Amino acid sequence: MANFGLDSYFVTKVPANPIGQSAVNHLRRFGVNTGFIARGGDRLGIYFLESGASQRPSKVVYDRAHSAIAEAKPEDFNWPEILAGARWFHFTGITPALSDAVAEITLQAAKTAKGMGLTVSCDLNYRKKLWTTEKANQVMSRLVQYVDLCIANEEDAEKVFGIKAADTDITKGALSDAGYKDVARQLVERFGFKYVAITLRESRSASDNGWSALLYDGKEYYKSRKYDIHIVDRVGGGDSFGGGLIYALLSGKQPQEAIEFAVAASCLKHTIPGDFNMVAVDEVEALAGGDGSGRVQR
């Protein structure tokens, strides 16, 4: 979102040492405001990624136990001060999965944001290596009370809330439109979200994916174009969808336009090495507007 020109703050906790500072510097490079990042704790969480290709899946080894954020305390964050003047608050399901204290911190943040009139969004982002489905259900059920826009993929909805669409098999990559609409409808019905966005990944291999999404506003379904992506780097592909959707809605785009923007933004992220989506609004709009030919611009 910083790339798209919005004032963006990243709120977390990093250790007060050169490793924490390096993470802060990395964010600053992209224009993200790091002014509310707390300093302290023992270590920076890391993960190891083996980048997949073709039939070989990417593989992640987490090493974030005892990280500064996992051991953060509620008093590390003064939410009314942090959220003053903001229009939107976003979190993902990875954060509350880190510890009970962090789940509590996330709850305070979401509640405060909602109370201060911000729009609140959440990407369910279920990670089986971080918590069980039972724990996720219990924690996320409380959190989503304050959420306006819920982002999920089919697996997230099933694992976190037990919401299933008929006739879909993730590892087979067979996805039915009707099934996805049904998941979106159930989510709105159960939690009263204003919007539900569902991303649809057809994983033909680690190198080639189909990528599209669905937005549901409680009344209409808005289905995006589908991109057949030749993947360069999947890391951050999901996050860039959330960023694109928030930007699109904040800047007043209509639902169909918004979901096209979000899918195009994250399609482009899949083609960029590294963990940041270094694309500008005009580049996303060129793709969303229909030019996926990849012709050289010169």
Pairwise CA distance, residues 190 & 122, whole Å: 16
Q: Which of 7, 63, 189, 275 binds Ni ion (CB under 5 A)?
A: 275
Q: Does 230 bind Ni ion (CB under 5 A)?
A: yes
Q: What is the dihedral of CA 37, 42, 43, 45, to 10 degrees?
A: -80
Pairwise CA distance, residues 181 & 202, whole Å: 16
Pairwise CA distance, residues 6 & 254, whole Å: 18
| Residue 7 or 275 having the CB closest to Ni ion | 275
Q: Does 244 bind Ca ion (CB under 5 A)?
A: no
Pairwise CA distance, residues 249 & 94, whole Å: 23
> For the chain, how far is it from start to end, CA to CA, in angstroms?
27
Q: Does 231 bind a second copy (CB under 8 A)?
A: yes
* CB-CB contact of 275 with 236 (8 Å): yes
| Residue 101 or 206 having the CB closest to Ni ion | 206
130 CB neighbour count, 10 Å cutoff? 17
219 binds, among a second copy, Ca ion, Ni ion, none (CB under 5 to 8 A by kind): none
Q: Does 125 bind Ca ion (CB under 5 A)?
A: yes
**Which string of x and - marks every residue 10-29 that binds a second copy (by CB under 8 A)?**
-------xxx-----xx-xx
91 CB neighbour count, 10 Å cutoff? 23
275 binds, among Ni ion, Ca ion, a second copy, none (CB under 5 to 8 A by kind): Ni ion
Q: How far is the CB of 230 from a second copy (least distance, A)?
A: 4
Binding site for a second copy (CB under 8 A): 17-19, 25-26, 28-31, 42-44, 48, 50, 52-63, 65-66, 127-129, 170-173, 203-208, 227-232, 234, 264, 267-268, 270-272, 279, 283, 287, 290-298
